[in-house]
Structure 1
Amino acid sequence: MKNIYFFIGTEAELMKMFTTIRELKLRGYRCIIVSSGQNEIHNSLFLELAGCNIDIDLSQYAPEVKSAKNYISWLFNTRKYGVKVMKEQLPAGGREDCLWIVHGDTLSTLLGAQIARKTGIKYMHVESGPRSFSLLSPFPEEIDRYYASKYSVVNFCPQKIYAEYAEKRFKGKAVNTYYNTGIETLNYAIKENRENSHPRIVEEKYFLLAIHRQENLYNKEYMVKLFTKIIELSDKMKCVFIYHEQTKDALVRYNLWDKVNSDKNICIIKRRPYVEFIDLVDKAEFVIADGCGNQQEFYYLGKPYLIMRLKVEKDSEGVGWNAECFGNKFNMIDYFYNNYQKYRKSPVVMEKSPSVIIADSIDDYFAKGGGEIDGEGWEKRSD
């Protein structure tokens, strides 16, 4: 039996990979979940949907308090521990029957790639390709994705342009999946919401706000200007503010929490499970947020989205279509409110399953001994 190790760090990674895991299990692969501990995923709905449990738990160094210092400590300690554990777990002479999968652009993506290289197991990178071409923005995602892609034997890219870039830039094979695997997760959530309706948080029209990126939370000037604008905008349209604990901590630190919390036009709610979150997005007029994964989801939904980041990946989904990048121009908030309806688009209809494309490529990889696919080498050039 072929062993596929899925290195999972965050809830979002698991959400985007559960359909791929199910597809591979249907094809007879043994799917092994390795948890880095970046997020707590033991009780995740998507672990259940994938039909899996955590098989290898590396979370003993997971930070209890989220901070840059604690994450750096976790990264180095978990890499050392992970290499030790995986050297014990992997078969001594049969690693050609094993494959390691990393996903996306988180710290766990980089960590998983490093553990794979240190233990001598080939790995593939799902959601490779997108680049801002600035290592410091988005930080650390640009660094994480670049170095994970650099040594992967296959880079699965959600658009042709990304696949072409990866094919030229990296040593591994590039495969175009046409969509991010997140579109399958999104379709699952939409179906669930159709079958199980949720009550509206507010009856009036509202826009949705979600800010959680570290590069934003540690920028006092940004946070003060942003939430001053949000309070002004909420006088025109109700705001539903989904907050992360680290966002609340930042607002308290900058003496903004009480001001936002007392505003009658801002409805503050804690993070919701993914299916409920998509329902909130679907009912919103538009979204102001800073999530990278959200950009793809909202593009697939056709939802107007103001991306609260300084830079976005070149040619990334939705920019200039349903979305605009804030780019440190706070007047963009007023502009977007006045023009959001022109950014409302029809949802994207999935014509090809990215999970099936990934599984087909893995079939070919093993069928050809990891040496070639469609007549071309998996590893085009040596280090």
Structure 2
Amino acid sequence: MERAGPEMDREVPVLLVKVGRYPQSHSTVGVARSFGRLGVPVHAMVEDRLTPTAVSRYLTRALVAPTSGCEPPERLVAAIREAGRAIGRRSVAVATDDEAAVLLAEHAEELSPFLLLPPVPPALPRRLADKGELAGLCTANDIPTPRALAPRDLGELRAAARDWGYPVVLKNVGSFSRLRRPAVGSTTVVSDERELLTACPADSVPSVLVQEYLPPEHAEDWFTHLCCGPGGEPLAVFTGLKLRSWPPGAGVTTRARAVANPPLAALAARLCRQIGYSGVADLDWRLDRRDGRYKLVDFNPRTGAQFRLFETADGVDVVRALHLSLTGRSVPQGPQLARSFGVGQVDLMSAAVTAWQERRPPQGIGPHRGTERAWLCQDDPVPALAEAVRFGGRVAVGVTRRALSGSRRPGRR
């Protein structure tokens, strides 16, 4: 099924650049579908030839280049360079994780013979992906943000949590550290000092950011997805409301709705202009109803997982806007469409857990008109099958591990 969209330069291919192992990524599938439907060739760095992205009908070629993110930077850059060389002509690079975005920016000169890249200041993506640096950038640019601290030791961490009051949020500080030496598995909410010490043992130096917790009864989760040209000039800005996540309350988006929010769009655009950010980005905000301010929680200098939620009446999404800009074409400025977004079985899990926690029937899990599904679609069904197989395998492994762990406990026979 070919969808209408802007007139793209089909002679300029796309390279999906990724660092680390996350084969079940719906953002990479979304990029392949977005460009492939318009006839733009898409090549992707993948873990193996059976990932959901690799089996998409819209992918021109899967370039098997498995990485962990723990390799020396020069090896990772060499892998990106070889992928670009394999395509045979300069390609628009689309980063799908923070580490890839950092490497593309810091090694832009070396990679430019193979890749078309936005003119972002080389050090900026690393600073934005670093949670401690982001807090300082927000303060310097008059952007509201929750209180945050990268503690020097456990004593400073405990003092901050006591001063602000529990619960507090713990996050891995930097982009590569989350892969090499993760302090927490993902964004973690700790409700008391016992949970804090479990997450950050007394014999370790905490490589975490502690952030003020904004209670859900007084907050809403919003995000902006955008693409900026040279100097941070916005080319496309979208706003949406997060409805559910996995894990509930602190994880990746599983259900969302596109909602036009001009004040939030203007706030995000102002920040990008002031710092000179160029390229695609995904910004997470929390509306604090206690003071009426949108507070920036995360700035991801790459394609967001749910970017396909957003599209204009002209068929522009953020990655299409990037391609148009880097190939010297204008970006149509139509209004964003009213759409919703769902992530299959993960959203069903989130809905079930949320309903159980809140003691109410599950909400918003049926089909809705205008829903963009992360996996299942009529014109590209195989990625959904590949995802289901991998998802089932992960569940089976998890159940087996818990069963074996339980059978080894003292007193069990």
- TM bucket (normalised to shorter chain) is 0.3 to 0.5
Between the two structures, name the one with larger relative contact order (CA 8 Å, sep ≥ 6).
2
Q: Which protein has the bigger helix share?
A: 1
TM-score, scaled relative to structure 2: 0.35
TM-score, scaled relative to structure 1: 0.37
Q: Which protein has the bigger strand share?
A: 2
